[in-house]
Amino acid sequence: MLIVQNAAEPASLRNALVDIVTAGAVDIRVASAYVTLGGASILLSAVANAVGSAAFAAMPKTLVTSFDFGLTEPQVLQHWRALANASVFVSGAQRLAQGSLMPQRAFHPKLYVFGRDPQTCSTLVVKIKRVSPSGSADFRHAFADARVSSV
């Protein structure tokens, strides 16, 4: 399935994320270049609503992000770390410790994985097709249900 988000359809990514979260989700893994508290709240609320509060508290939750260019909101890391069974990883943390928000190598994934069991997951991959000089972007989202091998 291909979903396009642009100025005419600004909620496509949010809707796609909510649509792929199922009641059977057992874990959540997010790798996103930039994260906001508002976006994280939408995502985490959708997962909690889909699985119930007890299952949400029990499920492993992993966030991998960066502070490249100062776009990630620090409060979102505090929010994720306060959740039960949550892990937070920051790409380029050594540059941040040196007082720089300019990455040596840009970290730019947009990947959302919702595990349903050890062999199955729902995944949303986001690709920016084009960014205009004004900064507006046309996003392409590919959604896949995948069977994966146990590691």
Lowest mean pLDDT among 51-65, 97-111, 134-148: 134-148
The CATH code of domain 2-147 reads: 3.30.870
Range 102-109 contact pairs with CB under 8 angstroms and sequence separation of 24 or more: 102/68, 102/69, 103/66, 103/68, 103/69, 106/33, 106/68, 107/33, 107/65, 107/66, 107/68, 108/33, 108/68, 109/31, 109/32, 109/33, 109/64
pLDDT of 80 higher than 70: yes
> Is 150's pLDDT higher than 60?
no
Q: Where are the domains of the chain?
A: 2-147
Q: Which pTM was predicted?
A: 0.76
